[in-house]
Structure formats: C-alpha cells, structure tokens
Chain A
Amino acid sequence: MTLHSNRPFISTKTAEIVQNLRQQVGGADAGMIHKSTVVSSGSEAIDRILPHPGFRRGSLVEWFEEQPGSGRETVSLLSARPALNNGGVIVVIDSSSMFYPPAAAAFGIDLERLIIVRTQDSSERHWAWDQALRCPGVAMVWGWLGQLDSRWFRRFQLSAESSGALGFLLRPARMRGRPTWSDLQLQVNARPGRSSRRFQVELVRCRGQGSALVVDLELNELTDELQEFKSRGHETNSLHLATQLAHPKTRRRSTRA
C-alpha cells in the first residue's frame, strides 16, 4: 500500500525546529509560545488578560501606578513569585533604599533567594539592571526605574532575552505611553475595598497587539493570592466571558468605564 499526498513531507524534527524558531521570533499572535517559556503570574485573573497567558521568560514588563499607595508593588511582587519556582534568585534594584524586606518575606519571598542592589546614580542603576538581566542564574529583576533612554532599554531587552530572566520595571506614570522595548505594560489602580485589599490591573499595552484589558482583583490574605472579584453595579469589562477573551483570535479591544 502506498500513501500519496500533495503536501510536502515535513519530518517531526523539522516541525520542532520551526516551532522553536517561531517562539524566538515572538510569535505571540499565533499563541505558539511554548509553555516552558511562559511563567504564570500566580493569579488566574491576571493570566487571563495576558497574551500567553503569563509572562514570557526573557522579557520586560513595565508596571505603572495611578498614584503612590495604589498597590503596584504588592501586585507586581506577588506576580513575580512564581518566576522563582524553577530556581534562580530575585534581584531587587533599590536605588532609593525604600524596599522593605520584611514585607516581601511576609508575602512568601524567600530572603535567602533575594539580592538587594543599591546604586548611587542613574548610570550605576542602568548598569546594574543590565548585569542582573543578563545573568542566567537570575529568575527575576524587580525594581523602580525612572528615565531610561532607548539605548539602555534595548540593551535590557536583549540581556533579558539572552538569559531568560524576567524584568519587572516599576516606572512613573509619566512614562506611560512612551516608546518602549518592553513586552507588556500594566497599570495598577487602587480600588476601595473592605477588609481585603482591592486593585484594578489594566493591560495598557502588549507588544504586537493593541489591547486594553482590565481586571478587578482582591488580595486573599489567607492564601496570598490575587483573586478576581466582580464589582457591583456597572460592569467595567466583559470578563465574565474571560475564557473567550483569553483566546487570541477572539480578543478585542475593550474600553474602561
């Protein structure tokens, strides 16, 4: 018996090579990022508004806030925790000497896997970011970062890609909307809560896509998890269709009320 087909024969190995090449090019549109290159945020609700779902290893994520005290540090650090599950350390670039390790420890960050780097000026700060991002033993680089020129930004992106480290850049609100080399831009807005802390996380920008998704979250202080909560009154988004929205083909722009 012979099998005949008009399609050219593609070996399994070739298919794998093609898939890897797609991943390297960053084929997020096709949703073909391999699972091992994506790390979850630890929150299903946040993962749903992210393209992969989760954060792509070797990428940069910018975090903005509406105003101080919005909870950006809390949400971003909780989202950084899962990046340590496969080993490595978290490097905190703390130029203002404001990072408070006991609070991080209370959120389950192992202090023995935390390195704090303090710098005096912007050139030292940028250099330290670059060095940490390019180290293969570093799982996450987290810290506040102000003005950053395009050259350094691009360098950060290449360093992160080369090592597979994830960079969470906490940036001032005035930087939102500026040209960027980051994969994702997220903004955390505070929301009035009751006993539990509440936030709104907005996907401002995703590389290759023009989406603006939001999700309302509540911090479960028993489990340290960020869980979605539905606000009463008008719906600010249609996330009850979250499973459909998560599919890249059905993602559409939504406007925030």
Chain B
Amino acid sequence: MPFAEATAISQHGPDNHSPRGARRSNKTSSCEIIFSEHTPATDHHALQQLAEWCEQFSPVVGLDAPDSASGLLLDITGIGSLFQGEEQLAQLVVDRFSDRGYWAHVAVAGTIGAAWAMAHYGIRFDSRRGKPAEPRVISNTETSIALASLPIESLRLSASSIELLHRLGIDQIEQLETLPREGLVARLGDEITLRLDQATGQATEIINAHHIHPEFQSEWVLEHPTSDQEVILQIAEHVCHHLANLLQAEDQGAVQVRCWMETTSQPTKVEIGLFRPTSEAAHLLQLLRMQLERCHLPGPLSRMCLQAIHTARITRKQQRLWDQPGGDPRQLADLVDRLSSRLGPTSVLAARMRAGTLPEDAYALIPLTGPQNSKARLNSAAGKRKPLGPGQRPLQLLHPPQPLQALSVSHGPPIQFSHAGRNHRVVQHWGPERIETAWWHGHCIRRDYYRVECQTGCRFWLFRRLDNQHWFLHGRF
C-alpha cells in the first residue's frame, strides 16, 4: 500500500479525538499505529480464503483479477429469493464481513463490470461513522445512469489507458460514452470499448470461479449437529468409502482431497495431498483421521463433505517410483502421504538443483504431494548448473547467514573469527570465490566466499559482503 494511503487511514483511527498519527499514552483508549511490510502474496492468500468463506452466499465465487486481486465476485443469479431479496443478501454479506472484522463495500448489479465499478467507486463511505457502508443494489435499467458519473478508473482499464484518457481530458465514463466508438477503437485500441460493453451488458463476461465444484464428492448432512468424536470419525469413514467407490467406478484416483466440515458457527476445511493417485478408502480414511485428530472444530458438526479436487487416472500397471531394485513404491508412497498429512504438504520435499547464482538459490524444494508433485514440475525445477566438486559446499547451510566478528588483512581472507563462543584461528583458506547476482535480478548481491580451515581442523564457509565488508558464516563442513 502506498504511504499516502496509509497516512489517510491513520487519520481515521478508532479514536477520532486523537491527534493524527499520534499515540495516546495518558488516556484509557489508545490509538496505536502498527507498521508492517506489505506482502502481496499474503494478501492474495487471505483473499482466497475469504473467497472460500463466501461460498456460503453463492456457489460461484471468484477473485476480481487473477494476480492483483483486490475484491471478490459472487454470482447471485437466482439466489436473492433464498435470502428474501438481493438487498437483504447484500446487507447480510456486509454484516457477516463486519463480524469478521472487515468493512466490505458491496454492490449488486446486472454485470460484473457495473458491480465492480459501483463497489470500488460508487459507494460513499465515511469511516468516522464507525460502521461499514451501506450496500448498493442497481437494477439493469439503472446501470447506465449509475455508471455515467463514475471515474474512468472504475472501468478496470490499464494504467496506460487511464493516463492517456486523462491527458485527453476524459475523466468520467459519461464523457467516454459521447465519443464515437470507431474513433475510440482506432486511437485507443479495443480495451476501452470492451470494458464499456462489459459494464453495460453488451459484452458477456464470466466469473472465474475460485473453486470449480469437483466431480467426485461425498457428503453427509446431520439432522442434529454433533461434537461426538466417535460419530465424526464414523461419518468420515462413510464419506471416504463413498468417495472411493465413485473414484473406482471411473478408474480415477484422488491426488488432492478436501474435507469441508460445516458447524453451527463457521466451516472448517482440511486438505490432503497425495503422492500417487489413490482410490483406496482405507488409505484416505487413515490420512483424514490424522487430520481430524489435530483439527479443532469451532462448534458441533452439521455437514461433512469430502471432495476429490484433483484426480488422475490410476494406471493398472504399477510404475516404479524410483527405478532402482528394491524399495517398494507403494510403501514409499504411503509413507510420503502419511508424513504430508500430519506435517503438512510443505514439510515433505524433494530437492532439485537450480541454476541460481546465490548458494541458497542453487536448489529448489518441491512438495511431494498434491498436484504440485507432477513430474513436470519436478523436472522443470531442475536447472543446468556447473557441477560442484565434493567438499566445495558445506552440508550445513545457515538460514540466514550469521554475522561474524572476523579479523582480516585489508580486503583479504579472514585470519581469525569468533563463532559459537570460540575463537578460531584460520590456518588454511581457499578463495575468494566471488558470487554476485546479475543486475537485472534487482538488488545486486556481491559476496566473496572463503572455505577456511582452523587450527583444530574444523572447516567453515565464510563470506564477506562487498558492499559493507561485513563477514558472515554461511555454512559448516
């Protein structure tokens, strides 16, 4: 988030009487500003989780952009009547988000473009009121009128198109609509007319659903919600067997399985990645039980739904995982599945060499379960790299490198350093080996590495940063 926007938020803190951006120290209520680095990946992940949570309102929920999403799109065609009208549904969405600590801007319109425009630019919101904004619901006949006064940014145009339009003095959508279409296309390309048509309903647009409802799923709905663990495990056994039967009927095996558990408060989800496609109920149940034992349901269970969200054809001929004599592939695959199920898919990994410059970038770790474990991904991670000699790299690499107090002559090798409470005198060294990143990778990192042997015979891998001449311990041999 740009600094300018962050400043604006701090002006509307929870305590409106506090000086702008200041911390109150002698009042009962405090206004404290927390600064943290913006991480787009974290935001994206959080938005994906909200998308899944919004499936309680609509079966089709998507992100409004594939990579730089800032909102959610819900298809509520025909659903309004289940919530006593679209306005009530919109208000319900606002209230439920508010319960979760979010102030959501919600707009309902006949097209995706119009709904997006209204939600982002058509809702007047004053945070001083201390509550979320009212949702806006626009009928199909009101769409053009509602869009006319909105800025051109509400059309989801690229930054270059927006800049160009501003330079031409076009700031609002109604100005665009007065221009001849042929002239717009000829001078500015198809993007503007396409976005206009999508907003007004003259061009179709669909929501890319975050979750495509899987073909294979089994569910159990309880008439009386329960917290009894034994009952829950029996339900899990039932859905596993049912799902396995569905998969076997189509000769398919699950590679990734999701279990949705709806409770009287909020739903819980567990995901299981598998190393090899499986349609064995016992194996699925074993992995699911491991997850259920560690997961705490927020309330009594009312519905359990087990879905095979990624499947693959089960080959009749058992292919060997590792083409070496000995080693039962099936048992190894089961081990990988059990480890992943309990420890998490990012805890059971394969390593592949990569053509990265820095030592820490010289390899990639790939999860062994789930759809990411495809051979293609494992093979694509492998990069061509100059082979290393034995002993050129340490078996222990520290993350991050540890700063050291080292003594060296001018810009030469280290003579002495302190580590783990001991002083080490260097009697032999090999280097420097200069490792630096290319300028086009962003911030340039330049290091001179030394393999050193101390008077005890212990060997370490040190480097000196060339920008500030600081020494670091990177590895132990």
Residues of A bordering B, CB below 8 Å: 66-71, 73-74, 77, 84, 86-89, 97-108, 111-120, 124, 127-128, 131-132, 135-139, 189-194, 197-199, 219, 221, 224
Question: Does B394 contact A100, Cβ atoms closer than 8 Å?
Answer: yes
Chain A: which residue is nearest B378 at the CB level?
A112
Given contacts A68-B420, A106-B389, contact A111 B353 (CB under 8 A): yes
B325, B351, B389, B420: the one contacting A86 at CB < 8 Å is: B325
Q: How many CB-defined contacts (below 8 Å) exist between A and B? A: 169
Q: Lowest 8 A-B CB distances belong to which pairs? A: A87-B326, A69-B458, A190-B457, A101-B351, A137-B332, A100-B397, A73-B395, A103-B393
B413 to chain A, nearest CB (A): 16
- Kindly identify, within residues 255 to 314 of chain B, every residue whose CB is under 8 Å from any CB belonging to chain A: none
In the complex, B362 has a CB within 8 A of chain A: yes
Contacts of B389 in A (CB 8 A): 106, 221
Contacts of A127 in B (CB 8 A): 342
Question: Does A100 contact B391, Cβ atoms closer than 8 Å?
Answer: no
Given contacts A88-B327, A105-B353, A106-B388, contact A98 B397 (CB under 8 A): yes
Given contacts A73-B396, A197-B477, A219-B390, contact A137 B335 (CB under 8 A): yes
Q: Can you give 27 A-B contacts (C-beta < 8 A)?
A: A69-B477, A74-B395, A87-B326, A87-B327, A88-B324, A88-B326, A89-B332, A100-B363, A100-B475, A101-B351, A102-B353, A102-B363, A107-B390, A111-B350, A112-B350, A119-B347, A120-B343, A128-B343, A135-B331, A135-B334, A138-B335, A192-B453, A193-B457, A197-B459, A198-B457, A221-B389, A221-B391
Size of chain B's interface in residues, with CB distance under 8 A?
Answer: 58
Question: Does A101 contact B477, Cβ atoms closer than 8 Å?
Answer: no
Assembly CA distance A97 to B353 (angstroms): 17
In the complex, B339 has a CB within 8 A of chain A: yes
Assembly CA distance A97 to B339 (angstroms): 17
Given contacts A87-B324, A197-B477, contact A103 B394 (CB under 8 A): yes
In the complex, B183 has a CB within 8 A of chain A: no
Question: Does A67 contact B331, Cβ atoms closer than 8 Å?
Answer: no
Assembly CA distance A206 to B420 (angstroms): 31
Assembly CA distance A67 to B391 (angstroms): 18
Given contacts A124-B342, A128-B343, A224-B390, contact A135 B332 (CB under 8 A): yes
In the complex, B157 has a CB within 8 A of chain A: no
Assembly CA distance A107 to B393 (angstroms): 10
In the complex, B427 has a CB within 8 A of chain A: yes
A69, A99, A114, A128: the one contacting B459 at CB < 8 Å is: A69
Chain A contact residues: helix, strand, loop or mixed: mixed
Chain B: which residue is nearest A86 at the CB level?
B326
Contacts of B454 in A (CB 8 A): 69
Question: Does A97 contact B399, Cβ atoms closer than 8 Å?
Answer: yes
In the complex, B132 has a CB within 8 A of chain A: no
Contacts of A116 in B (CB 8 A): 348-351, 365
Question: Does B388 contact A138, Cβ atoms closer than 8 Å?
Answer: no
Chain B: which residue is nearest A192 at the CB level?
B457
B408 to chain A, nearest CB (A): 19
In the complex, B398 has a CB within 8 A of chain A: yes
Contacts of A194 in B (CB 8 A): 428
A64 to chain B, nearest CB (A): 14
B383 to chain A, nearest CB (A): 11
A248 to chain B, nearest CB (A): 29
Question: Does A192 contact B353, Cβ atoms closer than 8 Å?
Answer: no
Question: Does A111 contact B352, Cβ atoms closer than 8 Å?
Answer: yes
A142 to chain B, nearest CB (A): 10
Given contacts A69-B477, A106-B389, contact A117 B326 (CB under 8 A): no
Question: Does B477 contact A99, Cβ atoms closer than 8 Å?
Answer: no
Contacts of A120 in B (CB 8 A): 343
Assembly CA distance A119 to B346 (angstroms): 10
Given contacts A88-B326, A117-B343, contact A99 B396 (CB under 8 A): yes
In the complex, B392 has a CB within 8 A of chain A: yes
Question: Does A117 contact B476, Cβ atoms closer than 8 Å?
Answer: no
A198 to chain B, nearest CB (A): 6
Chain A: which residue is nearest B356 at the CB level?
A102
Assembly CA distance A124 to B347 (angstroms): 11
B350, B353, B388, B428: the one contacting A115 at CB < 8 Å is: B350
Given contacts A111-B350, A137-B331, contact A119 B457 (CB under 8 A): no
Contacts of B338 in A (CB 8 A): 131
Question: Does A190 contact B326, Cβ atoms closer than 8 Å?
Answer: no
- Kindly identify, within residues 197 to 238 of chain B, every residue whose CB is under 8 Å from any CB belonging to chain A: none
B215 to chain A, nearest CB (A): 31
Chain B: which residue is nearest A189 at the CB level?
B457
Contacts of B477 in A (CB 8 A): 69, 71, 73-74, 197
Question: Does A221 contact B390, Cβ atoms closer than 8 Å?
Answer: yes
Assembly CA distance A253 to B342 (angstroms): 46
Question: Does A117 contact B457, Cβ atoms closer than 8 Å?
Answer: no
Question: Does B343 contact A119, Cβ atoms closer than 8 Å?
Answer: yes
